[in-house]
Chains A and B, each alone.
Chain A
Amino acid sequence: MHRPMNSRTPRRLTMTNRWREALWGLFFVSPWIFGFVVFSAGPMIASLYLSFTEYNVVQAPMWIGWENYERLFTADRLYIKSLWVTLEYSMVRVPLVIVVGLAFAMLINARLRFMSVFRVSLYLPSVVPLVAASVLWLWFLNPQLGLLNPLIRDVTGWSPPNWLRDPDFALYAIVALSVWQVGHTMMIFLAGLQEIPRDLYEAAEIDGCGPIRRLRHVTLPMMTPTIYFNLIIGVIQSFQAFAAVFILTRGGPANETLIYVVYLYRRGIEYIEMGYASAMAAILVLAILALTALIMKTSDKWVTYDRV
């Protein structure tokens, strides 16, 4: 009982079909709309409002205008410190994870026996939930009770520092945890590598390209979309890092690991300055948006979607 459409179908029916499709579309998307308003947009707007108030939960919010923002940038040394720490953390972690992830993916991307064993071994640590991995790290890096330092001492004779308690190394010890959990990134790169058509490599070989030139002219250009994807995800994750730092160092020693969200939590929840913390949150959103936009803007310069 469905009439096939042809040029003699009255316009009225086409409009109805468009209406039907639109209604169905909205129907399917409605849970998201509800979730977006209640769990995303609404809270963000409320957070913005709170950032202009002083709010300690026991009493009602009190409007103070731009005061929180002023205090952040003029009277809060620790806030500036947390900005630097977050920046340093991101700038070390993101490239490192991408390079290591890609390198590992290239290593296991071969039709050889036992590759799946290596793949599972390298991937397994990333399956460990972050909280559990942090607890494991806390023990592993303990100079007296963990195995890492005695191992280093026995193998190299060099006396290693107390990683998580040394202001110079603590942040890098936390980055090391991310590198250990590089498996997810590695798998995404692996999927990307396996999509590169073989004929590209064959053509390059015929042209006399050695492995390094193949890497530069075939692999890397074809991987730029995946690198781009991981870059954005990596930056967003780094700016939001919380659980590992909270468990391992809580921001110390000497505030060298005072990453942004840890400081936000401290001001908001531990000192009960929720207006102040909301201002920090607003700035965080701006920072992430700005950085992501920057990466996206410059992406046409180096990301290639076509075949080389």
Chain B
Amino acid sequence: MTASDAAYEPWRPHIGRYIVLFGLSAIWLLPVVLLGTTSLKTQPQVYDATRIFPWPLAWENYKLVLFDSFPFARYVFNSIVVAVASVAGDVLSSAFIAYGFAQLRFPGRRIMFLLMIATMMFPFAVRMIPLFLIFKELGWINTWYPLIAPSFFGTHAFFIFLFHQFFLGIPRSLMEAARIDGANELQIWWRVVMPLSKPVVAVVAVLAFEQSWSDFMSPLLYLNDSKMYTLPMGLYSLISGDDVASNWHLVMAATVTMIFPVVAVFILAQRFFVRGVTASGIKG
């Protein structure tokens, strides 16, 4: 019996805990709240730091950022396209590859598995220059292919690892039964194993989305044309000009635009999250 089964305890003896948590939560959320309020200030109000709540609320900042001053709506679109493609690639390839490692025996399996874990230790910085040259040869510079293609080939070992741990926990009898019924491994993977893996799929999808959405180094290296930028580069280009000193309200509005989808996805997927992390036996 684990801790999550029983109903709520009475709260009075834990008042100290509540006070501490309340204080911490307030501190932790303060920057985010300020982000929102600053995004609704007008330019002269930006200079007045101590004025926390602007009035009236300058909703037009969002319109300015998205459509007028900076083409932020375009960056949002670009990020969505890249993220959706990456998530599809990550989920499919990680689950596919993990099945091979977890359920099938083949020569070199142990070495390859170790190598795969080891790739988590290979910094991107090491591969960045030659990868750049490879993509240049392929003609992929200034396209989204360098941002998406690696996801389809299991370059994110962590996701493979999550699926792997989860697959280890699936009873072999299920798969044996399917084999006896004449199914080949591909069908077993798709029809038996994957439907059972919904929690892990959710976790990987959410993590992969966050990773693609936040990826800064790849767009920095591979994208020249600002029309192709995803949100991290778009946001960076806002603050790297010399005229930012007075435009913080717009920068904050842009930041909120970047944060909002990720937060939404996480809140929606929250139900799966703890269960998925536990289910994949990650701590062990």
Closest chain A CB from B141 CB (angstroms)? 12
Bound-state Cα–Cα, A76 to B180, Å:
66
Quick check: A188 and B283 within 8 Å, CB to CB?
A: yes
Quick check: B93 and A147 within 8 Å, CB to CB?
A: no
Bound-state Cα–Cα, A281 to B154, Å:
23
> Chain A: which residue is nearest B20 at the CB level?
A107
Per-residue interface assignment for chain A, residues 19 to 49, with 1 indicating a CB less than 8 Å from any chain B CB and 0 otherwise: 0011111111101111110111011101100
> Chain A: which residue is nearest B93 at the CB level?
A31
Bound-state Cα–Cα, A40 to B184, Å:
31
Bound-state Cα–Cα, A2 to B183, Å:
11
Quick check: A242 and B248 within 8 Å, CB to CB?
A: no
Cβ of A192 < 8 Å from any Cβ of B?
Answer: yes
Which stretch, B8-16, B56-64, B65-73, B194-202, touches the partner chain A? Answer: B8-16
Given A43-B130, A47-B129, decide whether A121 and B29 contact each other with a Cβ distance below 8 A: yes
Given A147-B52, A199-B1, A284-B125, decide whether A40 and B112 contact each other with a Cβ distance below 8 A: no
With contacts defined as CB atoms under 8 Å apart, how many contacts are there between chain A and chain B in the complex? Answer: 287
Quick check: A198 and B104 within 8 Å, CB to CB?
A: no
Per-residue interface assignment for chain B, residues 65 to 104, with 1 indicating a CB less than 8 Å from any chain A CB and 0 otherwise: 0000000000000000000000000000100110111001
Cβ of B223 < 8 Å from any Cβ of A?
Answer: no
Closest chain A CB from B156 CB (angstroms)? 10
Given A24-B185, A194-B278, decide whether A132 and B235 contact each other with a Cβ distance below 8 A: yes
Per-residue interface assignment for chain B, residues 261 to 284, with 1 indicating a CB less than 8 Å from any chain A CB and 0 otherwise: 011001100100110011000111
Given A28-B96, A110-B14, decide whether A44 and B106 contact each other with a Cβ distance below 8 A: no
**Residues of B contacting A188 in the complex (Cβ-Cβ under 8 angstroms):** 277, 282-283
User: DSSP majority for the A interface?
Assistant: helix
Given A29-B101, A40-B119, A111-B9, decide whether A225 and B283 contact each other with a Cβ distance below 8 A: yes
Closest chain A CB from B192 CB (angstroms)? 14
**Residues of B contacting A29 in the complex (Cβ-Cβ under 8 angstroms):** 97, 100-101, 106, 109, 112
- Residues of B213-237 at the interface with A, using a CB-CB cut-off of 8 Å, are 213-214, 216-217, 231-232, 235-236
**Residues of B contacting A43 in the complex (Cβ-Cβ under 8 angstroms):** 126-131, 134
Bound-state Cα–Cα, A144 to B47, Å:
8
Bound-state Cα–Cα, A187 to B283, Å:
11
Cβ of B155 < 8 Å from any Cβ of A?
Answer: yes
Quick check: A31 and B154 within 8 Å, CB to CB?
A: yes
Bound-state Cα–Cα, A33 to B107, Å:
13
User: DSSP majority for the B interface?
Assistant: helix
Quick check: B11 and A28 within 8 Å, CB to CB?
A: no
Bound-state Cα–Cα, A116 to B24, Å:
14
Q: Which of A129, A192, A240 contacts B123 (CB 8 A)?
A: A240
Which stretch, A8-16, A89-97, A260-268, touches the partner chain B? Answer: A260-268
Quick check: B126 and A282 within 8 Å, CB to CB?
A: yes
Cβ of B168 < 8 Å from any Cβ of A?
Answer: no
> Chain A: which residue is nearest B251 at the CB level?
A135
Quick check: B97 and A32 within 8 Å, CB to CB?
A: yes
Quick check: B129 and A277 within 8 Å, CB to CB?
A: yes
Given A27-B100, A145-B46, decide whether A138 and B7 contact each other with a Cβ distance below 8 A: no
Quick check: A264 and B11 within 8 Å, CB to CB?
A: no
Cβ of B160 < 8 Å from any Cβ of A?
Answer: yes
Bound-state Cα–Cα, A265 to B213, Å:
22
Cβ of A193 < 8 Å from any Cβ of B?
Answer: yes
Q: What are 10 pairs between A and B in contact, CB < 8 Å?
A: A26-B106, A27-B100, A31-B153, A31-B154, A50-B130, A107-B17, A117-B25, A132-B232, A240-B124, A265-B125
Residues of B near any A CB (own CB < 8 A): 1-4, 6-9, 11, 14, 17-18, 20-22, 24-25, 28-29, 31-32, 34-35, 38, 46-47, 49-50, 52, 93, 96-97, 99-101, 104-107, 109, 112, 115-116, 119-131, 133-134, 150, 152-155, 160, 180, 182, 184-185, 189, 210, 213-214, 216-217, 231-232, 235-236, 238-239, 245, 248, 251-252, 255, 258-259, 262-263, 266-267, 270, 273-274, 277-278, 282-284
Interchain residue pairs A-B with the least CB separation, the first 4: A35-B153, A28-B100, A25-B106, A25-B104
Q: For the A-B complex with A112-B9, A147-B49 known, give 9 more contacts whose Cβ atoms are closer than 8 Å.
A: A28-B189, A43-B126, A43-B127, A121-B28, A131-B236, A187-B274, A191-B278, A195-B2, A240-B125
